[in-house]
């Protein structure tokens, strides 16, 4: 009995996505009518930990993912925003 060995070409070979080192930021959907009706606190600018003079977080987190402009752009593109789990509102 003859056996044949067929080698997959690079175009058909399945490639695995490398495992993430850390999880990506969770984005939450907001209903469009709620987004328009309520002033939802979801940006660093609304948070007690945000220092507006140098745009940093007192907890040491990167603020770029939660800044108002980023949130607005994300919502307009996907209907979702990345709400920070450590946000505090006075
Ligand atoms: S705790 Fe979160 S929302 Fe508040 S300033 Fe830091 S990164 Fe922004």
Give dist(CA 47, CA 56) in Å, integer: 11
Cut 0.85: pTM above it: no
68 Cβ neighbours under 8 A, 6+ residues apart: 43, 44, 45, 46
pLDDT means over runs of 10, the chain (90 residues)? 58 74 87 96 96 96 95 96 94
Q: Where are the domains of the chain?
A: 28-81
Q: How far is the CA of 17 from the centre of ligand 1 (A)?
A: 30
| Helix or strand (DSSP H, E) at 28 | strand 28-29
Residue 4 has a pLDDT of: 65
Give dist(CA 30, CA 43) in Å, integer: 14
Q: Which single residue is written with the structure tokens 């040491």?
A: 60
Residue 36 has a pLDDT of: 95
Residue 39 has a pLDDT of: 94
List 56's β-bridge partners, or say none: 51
Q: How far is the CA of 33 from the centre of ligand 1 (A)?
A: 25
Specify the ligand 1 atom closest to the Cα of 84. 2
Q: Whose CA is nearest to atom 8 of ligand 1?
A: 44
């Amino acid at each position: 009995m003859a056996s044949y060995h067929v080698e997959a070409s690079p175009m058909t070979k399945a490639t695995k996505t490398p495992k993430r080192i850390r999880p990506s930021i969770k984005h939450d959907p907001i209903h469009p009518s709620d987004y328009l009706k309520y002033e939802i606190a979801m940006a660093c600018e609304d948070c007690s930990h945000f220092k507006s003079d140098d745009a940093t977080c007192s907890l040491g987190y990167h603020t770029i993912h939660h800044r108002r402009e980023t949130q607005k752009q994300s919502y307009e593109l996907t209907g979702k925003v990345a709400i920070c789990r450590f946000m505090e509102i006075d």
